[in-house]
Structure 1
Amino acid sequence: MSKQEYSPFWTKNENKIDKNTLSIILLAHVQQPRGSINKDQLQCNETERFSIEEFNEIYQGIVAAGYYIQSVYFNELDFISDYIEHPARFQNCLIYNLARNGLGDNKKTIIPAFCELVGLNYNTSSSLSCALCRNKYYFTTLFRSHNIPVPRSWLLDKSGNWVNGFPSHKIQVICKPCSESASQGISESNIFYASLEKFKCFHGTSCIVQEYINGEECEVPVFKIGNSIEVLPPVGINLGKKKVLDEQTSADNNYDFYSLKETQSQQTINLICDYAKKAFNLMQMNVYGRIDFRISLDGKPYIFDISTTPYTTRHSSFAFDFNLMQFKYSDIYHAIITAAVKRQ
């Protein structure tokens, strides 16, 4: 989007939503004491849950956008149980889902799949897209076949077997869990020159080994409203002296944002936006999402991660972009809810 296009894109050629009849059901994992854990389901890690302050930002953002939150659930099973017992309560509701309990590729698929099954509208991509976008090796392989640039990648399975060959010892790589997000399992010690000895400590988990791209990192927020895909300006991640956004830095929000146009040419930015749109479309993503890039020192962008439920707290690339475009923080939630209601 150029500066001239910084307008409320979620209102273009769309009928207004009747906020008096639409209710929001909010699902989010929150750290104790507010969060409620159901012992019958597998729990996501503590660092993947919202702090109480972050949860309040999201809650108040939805309310400030003019929407009524009918109920809040802190885990998936309580929501599903309530729906099964009292389905009439969920008429004229939008399920605003930020839940991610479970394991591996299926962490974000439970609520989208359930909503599709019973005919509830929801705010994320489908369960298929959520699963594919979690598995870094699968979407990396798919992107490569469609000429979307990604780092060279190899898959190391749980038994310590290499699925598609082995990286050269001359290549600096980063080894990370194949199906995790929020920088789970990532630290600078995961970056090294390829070595059989180094890889031994990763046996027992499914890992993607990628060529480490030395350079900048950026996030690209994307919306789909109706049939229109809107790519927002790429946001650079200021990691200070760190090489990568590791798990602890991510959990502590110990990093800043900047407009990528401060460091990259317009040609590179246009290329990033084009690849982000292609990736979003190829993965059949919907409503909103985020495409993450590493940019080499010579200006070549590579997609290395995707999020189907990216953070929209005040410390996020979404909040940075909306502020850059002189929108209110609550407009993020107006855009997401509008996109969800208008989904095709």
Structure 2
Amino acid sequence: MNYNVVLLHNRLSETPSADESDVLQQVGLVNEALKALGFSTVVHDIGTDLYEDIRKINRLSPAFVFNLVETVFDKSELLSIVPSLLSSFHIPYAGVRAEGLYLTTNKLLAKKRMRREGIPTPDWAMPQDEGISFAQDKKYILKPISEEGSVGLEEEAVFSGRLPAVSGPADAYFVEEFIEGREFNVSVIGRPGRFRVLPPAEMIFHDFPPGKERVLGYRAKWDEQSFEYTHTCRAFDTLSDEPELRQALETYATQCGELFELCGYFRVDFRVSKEGKPYVLEVNGNPCISPDSGFIAAAHHAGMSSVGIVREILLSSFPPDFVPVAHLQ
């Protein structure tokens, strides 16, 4: 049976940057997979007139929407608005629910919740906190509270002793203890009570000279001409001799999914200290699923095809009796 599905993404600017236009690669992957699963598809974007755009989608009477929106008004912190609007129009959608996106896109809210639940996350403070001081024997990093895709994050943000200059409102940033050590990404498909953890990926900082901070920043992800891009790579199976560390990463990733009631797909980013202790940096609901993304790489490493990935995301996004995807069981 054919069902009509809307692939929804954020409207691009007239001259989109590499990280902005990447969403079209995601649309292409999901579009091909949905068609292979027997769905008919319509690609739709959403811009600044949210009400009119949602009304247009509603008039299409889709079986459901596959939500690939990455920003609203060019801001990641407003991501939860789109699923909230879809819910208000009673339009089903695949991916993380509005509540989960709201909590995880605000990194401070997420860190506070994780800390309360015993999930380790680095210490943090706001730049404008009264009496804030920095230990001379530790390093810190200045990070945007809500931006994704490593926007505004580079090694220049790492400091010790003295806070670097803040460009923009001080309350848009927070200071986090910089965990020197290894970096991992753990991708997950599923819903509370039924998560499938994909193979952890370690980010390898190859031939970084002494004194150069190992940061997976914007240059490493998007600037193909930069040293960081050409000397940073993803590797799997680096924990084959460290089963306890792998288990810890998988356990914390699952706990994050349960804590924020995430369904569909998400990714948890970790730093592991030199002493071998993992810390959750952030939780990313609906992470990038372009063909060359870390999430897709992890799923392929686990033996899943792109069609299989989208199938599992759909089954994880809706209850078992949701008719449009019931045939995928």
Say whether 1:289 aligns with 2:261.
no
Q: Spell out, residue by residue over 1:84-120, the C-alpha distance to the aligned partner (whole angstroms, 9 max, x if none).
A: 2573522423343334223656421121101111111
Say whether 1:243 aligns with 2:214.
yes
Say whether 1:201 aligns with 2:163.
no
Aligned to 2:35: 63
Q: Secondary structure of 1:284's partner?
A: coil
**In the alignment, residue 86 of structure 2 is paired with which amino acid?**
C
Q: Secondary structure of 2:261's partner?
A: coil
Partners of 1:260 and 1:269 within 8 A in 2:
no
Q: Spell out, residue by residue over 1:260-315, the C-alpha distance to the aligned partner (whole angstroms, 9 max, x if none).
A: 54476100110111111111111122221111101112221100011111011121
Query: What are the residue-to-residue correspondences of 1:93-112 with 2, within 5 Å?
Result: 93-102=64-73, 106-112=77-83
Deviates more, 1:238-247 or 1:147-156: 238-247
Aligned to 1:127: 98
**In the alignment, residue 216 of structure 1 is paired with which amino acid?**
R
Say whether 1:26 aligns with 2:26.
no
**TM-score scaled to structure 2, two decimals?**
0.83
Q: Secondary structure of 1:293's partner?
A: strand
Q: Spell out, residue by residue over 1:50-103, the C-alpha distance to the aligned partner (whole angstroms, 9 max, x if none).
A: 26555433433433444321x212224567525425735224233433342236
Paired-residue identity, %: 19
Query: What are the residue-to-residue correspondences of 1:1-344 with 2, within 5 Å?
Result: 20-29=1-10, 47-50=19-22, 52-53=24-25, 55-69=27-41, 71-77=42-48, 80-84=51-55, 87-102=58-73, 106-156=77-127, 161-162=128-129, 165-195=132-162, 198-202=163-167, 204-205=169-170, 206-225=172-191, 227-240=193-206, 241=208, 243-252=214-223, 254=229, 255-262=232-239, 265-342=242-319
**In the alignment, residue 92 of structure 1 is paired with which amino acid?**
A
Deviates more, 1:297-306 or 1:223-232: 223-232
Aligned length: 309
* Structure 2 unpaired stretches of 5+: 323-329
The Cα RMSD (Å) is: 2.8
Distance (whole Å) between structure 1 residues aligned to residue 27 and residue 68 of structure 2: 13
**Deviation, structure 1 residue 191:** 0.8
Q: Secondary structure of 1:223's partner?
A: strand
**In the alignment, residue 300 of structure 1 is paired with which amino acid?**
K
Aligned to 1:6: none
